[in-house]
Structure 1
Amino acid sequence: MNALSPWAVSASAELAGNSSVRFELHADPFNFKVIATNDSIWIQTELPNGGRVSFRAAYSPGSNLEVVKSKQNPRQGIDLKLKSAIGQQKVTISVDQSEGSPVLRYTNSLIPVKDLMMPSWPKDILFNGKNNNPEQTEGKIHAGQFGTRTGFLYLSQIRPKSATLLYLQNLTALSEYAEQTETSLGDTVGGEWPELGFSLPPSKKPLPKGKEVILADAFIAFSEEVPEKEPDMIRLYLDLLARIYLLLPKPQTAYKHWPDILDKGLKDLIDSPGCWSQVNGHKYFNAYVSDYETPPEIMVQLAVLLPLLDYVEWSEKELEVMKTIKAGLPSFYDKKLGTIMRWLPAAEDKLKGEEEQKVPKVMDSWYLHHPLLNLSRLALKGDKMATQLFLDSLDFAIRVAHHFKYQWPVFYKMDTLEVVKAETAEGKGGEKDVAGIYAHVMLQAWELTAEQRYLKEAEKAAKTLQGLGFKIFYQANNTAFSSGALFRLYKITKNELYLELSYMCLAGIFRNVQLWDCNYGYGKNFPKFFSLYPLNDAPYTAVYEEQEVFCAFHDYLKHAEDVDILPSVKLLIAEYIRYLVDRAVYYYPTMLPADMLEVKPKIGEVDPKLWIALEDLQDGWLKSGTVGQEVYGAGNAFGIMPRHYLQIPGLPFMIYTDYPTSGFNARKGKNISFKILGDKRISCRMMLVKTASKKIPEFQILLKGQKEPLKASTVANGNLEYIIPGDSSIIIHTHLSKSI
């Protein structure tokens, strides 16, 4: 039992007294009472088996909080107007019971009576127990906010064994508070049992007198299930997150014309001298613009090549730059060790050892497997050079896996396998998701060769992931690749364990997203809703990992078409994809004000006129591009175009959707059909995008099973827009067209 704050002691005493009940609602098996005390408005919630938790919906220091007006609202709740020495407050409380688990929401705003400094503020969750004695309760916090990720807590009360809660603070609504007080909303949700939740960050500047500001907007989803097994805990998290997500206010998206963005990015990628280095007559991509100090890396070359291949296959164009990239790949192979290397062996002498991994023959564990994965993709498309490099490196990768017993350190020496850095941080272990990407590599080898030993290796590695829970996440793209590999293993073997582990990887990813928009400071210049952090402790979001997760999620849904996966997974994956397509363009410095860009990045240079993405977008009070301009993040546009623009033979437009699709069938003179994935409870955007100066013919577009055609809105440049529910089948009757 942790010590209590004075706020918790005082609250427990007041709640035990004769407080005024203003409203009561029963949502079986939960019961909600709105209670007014001397300094707070509480929502006391009775849980199954004698559990109790109280949520502080409003607070005023001192003992003079007065309810001026109360009125029941149509959302199964109550609206309150309050006054106290600090000003007037409004509280709106509601309970949504539209689906299985009830969701409590409370919003609190303040109009200060004077300019107010906010030096401290209490947490808004207190597990005070049935007898208003917090010491008699015990709980388990499964996961919570880190840095500027989603402001959430996922927890279960285990004494008494009563319920599981997902608490989420809508930090978007608090951006004005952060702007006025010059504070960050990072690490504002947390605490220790029994006193948890959100507290306002201490202000650096005062809240101005007379200006209304939101102080809280909390959502809490309840379940009477108290999971004891990891798969149940993970499934419940995904389901409760999707439950809240449906109710969460979400920013509007807008169409971005990715064909133009791609053309600009491709030109700068090819023509900008800062993107290239030359070694022994071969040209190689730099990792960062104008980074000439670091030798070429094989991961960088392949991270650009594979998205270019996606684009070339879609567009049926030829790109000479792809031949340039491929020509340099064999130089990364070390015949003595029998494997591809991270650093180009011919240029390793440029490494100065300023970082632990910047030493010849030192490997970052995931850096071996990521290039192997990309080589395997080329190999499965029939590329002979890639096939040889891939197969010739597999025995080394397997030897390393066996040496470390499928638990990889952070850095090791490739010639001796001596560990250079064992853990990401003290007591945290190594790169836990490498076992998943290794399993993916082995599955690719099995698919390429049909040798059963590779399938067995994949299974051995996968089983070591059991018990990691949310800690599986080391690096976003590798965790996403792991989720796909585990799902494929499930489809191959029918072993439910692999499906459960696949969900575990997805939960790790969604625990590391930012489900709020940072509308303060520099953050007002770019959207960040549903952005994803590259590492479990990274302070910024990063383009490379995001675009690879985006592609991995598309692949996941493709493999899941014939499998009944969790609806919450379908919903969350589709929504991540939708928002990535909307906001990814803001990684380009050309889209951002110059004053928010770092002048002296850690690596290379930042050229604000170059259509090469920044590595990092930071919290609103920090400049972005602090790491550098990421050449290996150039796959951004090349990944989006082939997946979201559907080409139609003989017609002057493309079909664009911001949701993933499948089963596209378009033959000249025939009706067009395809399926939009996702969830019916959320709608997405479909557009007919002009590819010529002609007007777009108007077609009869139907949702399968409906008789009334969809209505279009004419938008910019003569394009047509439709709003369509997810998980819908589309039929476009081309023979009924007419020009408009």
Structure 2
Amino acid sequence: MHLDETAPYWQPFVKAEQVSQWVVGLDHQLKQATDYQDVPWSLEQGQLQTCSTPNSFWLIYEVESAGKLAIRTCFDPQTIRSVKLNKKTSTTLDFQVEGALGLFRVKLELASQQPVVLRYTTSLTPNQDFSLEALPRDVYVLDKDYDPSTTEGMVYVTQNGPTAGLAFWSVTKPVEGTIFYFQNLTALNPYCQLTHTDPSGSVNAQWPEVGFSLPASEQPLSAGTEVVLSDAFIYLSKTIPTSEFEAADQFLEAIDSIYRHLPKPATDYFDWPKLANQTIKALSESPDCSRHIKNHFYVNAYVSATQKPPESMVQLAILVPLTEYQDWLGRAIPLVDQLQKSIPTFYDETRATLMRWLPGEPFRKEETSEEEDHNKIDSWYLLHTLMNLGRLAQNGNVEAKDLLFRSIDFAIGAAHHFNYNWPVFYDSLSLEVLKAETAEGRGGELDVAGLYTHVMLQVYELTREPRYLAEAKKSAERLRGKGFELLYQSNITLMSALTLAKLWKLTGNRLYFDLSKLGVANVIARLWIWDCNFGFGQHRSTFLGVAPLRDAEYVAAYEEAEIFATIHNYLIELNDDVPPSVRLLFSEYMKYLLHRGRYYFPSQLPLEMVSQQPREGRILTDLPIPLEDISTGWKQAGTVGQEVYGGALAYILTTYSYKNFDDVPVIFYAEYPICQADYQLVTKDSGYAVYRLGGTAENKCRIRLLAKGRQLPQLQMRDEDNQTGEPLSPIHQDKNYQQYEVPGNLRLRVDWTKPA
């Protein structure tokens, strides 16, 4: 396997060096096992066997008589007394394993034969109350003689904090192959609730040991109560990636294959337009959300947080999607004009750029953080602000276009100074780097090169000047070689992926499409593909959430709203070129955010699970402004603060998920992206509309037809491509709405007739 040597963040080969105590002597134990039994499943790539050692029950996958994958399905530190096959089908084997701790049940399943996906689920009924301490991981890479020390491979990405319990790696010696490991953390909720533990960071790699280590318990397991200890999937492939782009493609294929087998929570409808109106009213009128300085109106970053100057990024984060919502609504929103008038006050003539902090307004704090300095520029903040100016300019806002072009040369000068490798902080006058890296050895804000590409492409589209396109191309090149370390901030990485897709279509250079998919894979690798239902998590949902930063241990309202809008635009921009795995996961992400986004709002949560001592400002539980942060189950929500600019969440979800035509008497709502919509009037009182859904046919989403007036007109909805023409039947309805459940990737026709 040969990799691009110019790729500094591409993870190096790994081999057995500093092994844990669970590896030492493992080869001897497995060699001494005498109860090897063939698993009667025909696999193209290898042979499966089971065996037991004094303290473990194993599934052994042997490949070409050259290497082995040893999977520890259950572990009892004292002894395994007996193993009994209880039940057998063509694709499942159920074992009863008696140990000193109690009775284990191990279910082995061939979840898919092409591609090969194995699943093993282990539960335990303890004989007595006890606490679990240090436990081993469950997967080991071995050679044909069960020796781990001779093996080598490449680890691409593993779980980071509360993200999905995944590990993705290749074996390069003694035999080539790629493995994708996935621990279904949702199944561990009862264990976490009983033991007061958290599965964050529980899946990792210390070669040759990979996979899941059950968190040590703080509270004991109870005698006689069965609890799931592991629910793992393994995807097996004979091929190994030869570049970061092939690694991204293979990762997306693997996670798609496993996602289809996961149990998923149900969704229900939430009234986002109603909350959007309430949020805009609060943003406009609440003295805790805004302030006036020198006759200009500014929104705060957090509720009641006025010790810092207003921030340009915050104003634009509210304003830009609000202008889109204003178009959706069909009438003027006074807040739009108020915010637009405040944006020019952030321009600094000396530096010739828009600034983060309002010039001339002091920090009213005894101690300031590293970012609270008028002279400092955080790389992503400036470019995010320019990107939003570009969005306004592309929609015809002349003043925003002027501010963008007055600031663009500063951004270009900084890009050249840093050679398109953006640090965390730099001085706004000298461009001196004040903080180079996010952490030692991890580089600066790696995905910001993509955000700069985004801005340059916007300016090119506004001017058609070749120098801006050249800048976009040069910056895009800097995204190469980062592998699964590309993501610094998830919304920025995804916006970069969108602009790279546009750059590919504009230039025909396939590199940009491959880089786009790499960015997408980075974001999907950080999804929380599990639902945290322990502790405070019993009152909320986190399924398919995504953290704002690479190392953040919470999901955040504004970043998720921006990701939602970017995903929608990505799916429309690429259309049929979207890989099926991305189409599935992006559509599912949108569906689940529409369901769980409500839990960002404190009024939707029990009072005891909302922090009353946030880091920023204060929490007003009756104010329709979202909390910034939701963590895993043992932490309260809102520990960062109540995020005023996160108020964009409600009207972003409304704008993108509710299709509203002036001449159509119903509003069409879909959990999956509405990729295309048009309508035709037949008479003044009748007509039809056609809506094309994203998603895939294997998964379903909810549709609602909502009355604009006091009641619905006469309606029929059908699958436009179904030749039978049979109307679909609603699953719920009243005089104001009809609700349906349909597969993704449909064209739906809605015929209406107004009552006489």
- TM-score normalised over the length of structure 2: 0.94
Of 622, 625, 633, 2:638 maps to 625
Partner of 2:232: 218
For 1:668 and 1:128, the matched residues in 2 are separated by 68
Q: Secondary structure at the match of 2:86?
A: strand
List aligned pairs for 1:234-313, cutoff 5 A.
Answer: 234-313=248-327
Q: Which amino acid aligns with 2:637?
A: S
Q: Is the 8 A contact 1:35 1:43 kept in 2?
A: yes
For 1:281 and 1:540, the matched residues in 2 are separated by 37
Partner of 1:487: 501
For 2:712 and 2:413, the matched residues in 1 are separated by 61
Q: Is the 8 A contact 1:50 1:162 kept in 2?
A: no
Deviation at 1:384, TM superposition (A): 0.9
Deviation at 1:454, TM superposition (A): 0.5
Deviation at 1:576, TM superposition (A): 1.2
Partner of 2:402: 388
List aligned pairs for 1:513-662, cutoff 5 A.
Answer: 513-561=527-575, 563-649=576-662, 652-662=665-675
Partner of 2:732: 714
Ranges in structure 1 where 5+ consecutive residues have no aligned partner: none
For 1:722 and 1:166, the matched residues in 2 are separated by 36
Percent identical residues: 37
Q: Secondary structure at the match of 1:624?
A: coil
Deviation at 1:57, TM superposition (A): 1.4
Q: Is the 8 A contact 2:161 2:553 kept in 1?
A: yes
Of 728, 734, 739, 2:752 maps to 734
Backbone CA RMSD of aligned residues: 1.8
| Alignment deviations for residues 110-133 of structure 1 (CA, whole Å, 9 cap, x no partner) | 111111211122211011221111
Q: Is the 8 A contact 2:344 2:403 kept in 1?
A: yes
Q: Is the 8 A contact 2:112 2:118 kept in 1?
A: no
For 1:303 and 1:49, the matched residues in 2 are separated by 58
Partner of 2:743: 725
Deviation at 1:48, TM superposition (A): 4.9
Are residue 681 (structure 1) and residue 698 (structure 2) matched? yes
For 1:667 and 1:312, the matched residues in 2 are separated by 24
Ranges in structure 2 where 5+ consecutive residues have no aligned partner: 1-15
Deviation at 1:38, TM superposition (A): 3.4
For 2:29 and 2:720, the matched residues in 1 are separated by 57
Partner of 1:94: 109
Q: Secondary structure at the match of 2:41?
A: strand
For 1:37 and 1:697, the matched residues in 2 are separated by 69
668-677 or 690-699, larger mean C-alpha shift? 690-699
| Alignment deviations for residues 402-440 of structure 1 (CA, whole Å, 9 cap, x no partner) | 000000110111111111111111111110111000000
Deviation at 1:569, TM superposition (A): 1.4
Q: Rate the CA distance shift 1:725–1:706 in 2: closer, same or farther, 3 A.
A: farther
Deviation at 1:266, TM superposition (A): 1.7
Q: Secondary structure at the match of 1:273?
A: coil
Q: Is the 8 A contact 1:304 1:632 kept in 2?
A: yes
Q: Which amino acid aligns with 2:217?
A: S
Q: Secondary structure at the match of 1:65?
A: strand
Q: Is the 8 A contact 1:237 1:507 kept in 2?
A: yes
Q: Is the 8 A contact 2:192 2:534 kept in 1?
A: yes
Q: Which amino acid aligns with 1:538?
A: A
Q: Secondary structure at the match of 1:304?
A: helix
Deviation at 1:366, TM superposition (A): 0.5
| Alignment deviations for residues 565-589 of structure 1 (CA, whole Å, 9 cap, x no partner) | 3211111111111111111111111
| Alignment deviations for residues 67-112 of structure 1 (CA, whole Å, 9 cap, x no partner) | 23432134x12111222221122111111236x3110000011111
Partner of 1:699: 716
Partner of 1:146: 160
Deviation at 1:532, TM superposition (A): 0.3
Q: Is the 8 A contact 1:48 1:224 kept in 2?
A: no
For 1:560 and 1:49, the matched residues in 2 are separated by 44
For 1:651 and 1:440, the matched residues in 2 are separated by 35
Partner of 2:436: 422
Deviation at 1:10, TM superposition (A): 4.7
List aligned pairs for 1:332-343, cutoff 5 A.
Answer: 332-343=346-357
Are residue 34 (structure 1) and residue 43 (structure 2) matched? no
Partner of 1:442: 456
| Alignment deviations for residues 165-188 of structure 1 (CA, whole Å, 9 cap, x no partner) | 110100000011011001111111
Q: Secondary structure at the match of 1:438?
A: helix
Q: Is the 8 A contact 1:547 1:636 kept in 2?
A: yes
Q: Which amino acid aligns with 2:709?
A: A
Q: Secondary structure at the match of 1:27?
A: coil
Deviation at 1:52, TM superposition (A): 1.2
Are residue 47 (structure 1) and residue 63 (structure 2) matched? yes
Deviation at 1:553, TM superposition (A): 0.8
Deviation at 1:515, TM superposition (A): 0.5
Q: Secondary structure at the match of 2:23?
A: helix
Q: Rate the CA distance shift 1:327–1:103 in 2: closer, same or farther, 3 A.
A: same
For 2:71 and 2:593, the matched residues in 1 are separated by 34
Q: Rate the CA distance shift 1:629–1:165 in 2: closer, same or farther, 3 A.
A: same
For 1:671 and 1:263, the matched residues in 2 are separated by 28
Q: Secondary structure at the match of 2:339?
A: helix
For 1:327 and 1:406, the matched residues in 2 are separated by 32
Partner of 1:667: 680
Are residue 474 (structure 1) and residue 488 (structure 2) matched? yes
Q: Secondary structure at the match of 2:39?
A: strand
| Alignment deviations for residues 288-325 of structure 1 (CA, whole Å, 9 cap, x no partner) | 11111000110000000011111111110211111110
Q: Is the 8 A contact 1:279 1:346 kept in 2?
A: no
For 1:593 and 1:92, the matched residues in 2 are separated by 38
- TM-score normalised over the length of structure 1: 0.96
Deviation at 1:700, TM superposition (A): 4.1
For 1:728 and 1:270, the matched residues in 2 are separated by 39
Q: Is the 8 A contact 1:183 1:202 kept in 2?
A: yes
Q: Is the 8 A contact 1:704 1:731 kept in 2?
A: no
Deviation at 1:683, TM superposition (A): 1.6
Deviation at 1:685, TM superposition (A): 1.4
For 1:49 and 1:496, the matched residues in 2 are separated by 39
For 2:713 and 2:124, the matched residues in 1 are separated by 51
For 2:373 and 2:662, the matched residues in 1 are separated by 52
Partner of 1:209: 223
Number of aligned positions between the proteins: 735
Partner of 1:67: 83
Q: Is the 8 A contact 1:253 1:582 kept in 2?
A: yes
